[in-house]
């Protein structure tokens, strides 16, 4: 896998090595954000579901004919 540990060889290939490590670093940042904001996303999803259920109940209540007095 590693062709040589010669410093000159490593220096010649440092640009793509650093670039590859940069991409891996950015992947870890995205993963960390996913983990950090997952509970918030779930809370928002539950709030949206509750609002949709409340809206559906309100629409259903308005659609029913009112009893005459």
Written as tens digits, the pLDDT of the chain (69 aa) is: 578 888 898 888 889 889 999 999 999 999 999 999 998 988 999 999 999 999 999 999 888 876 555
Distance CA 14, CA 8 (A): 10
Specify the pTM. 0.52
Do residues 29 and 35 make contact, with C-beta atoms less than 8 angstroms apart?
Answer: no
Place of tokens 């659609």: 63
- The position carrying tokens 């793509």 is 16
| Structure token pair of residue 49 | 């579901």
Contacts of 4 by beta carbon, 8 Å cutoff, 6+ apart: 10
The C-alpha atoms of residue 26 and residue 33 are separated, in whole angstroms, by 11
């Amino acid at each position: 896998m590693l062709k040589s540990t010669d410093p000159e060889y490593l220096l010649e290939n440092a640009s793509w090595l650093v670039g590859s490590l940069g991409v891996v670093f950015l992947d870890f940042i995205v993963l960390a954000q996913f983990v950090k904001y997952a509970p918030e996303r779930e809370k928002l999803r539950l709030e949206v579901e509750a609002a949709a259920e409340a809206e559906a109940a309100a629409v259903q209540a308005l659609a029913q004919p009112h009893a005459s007095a």
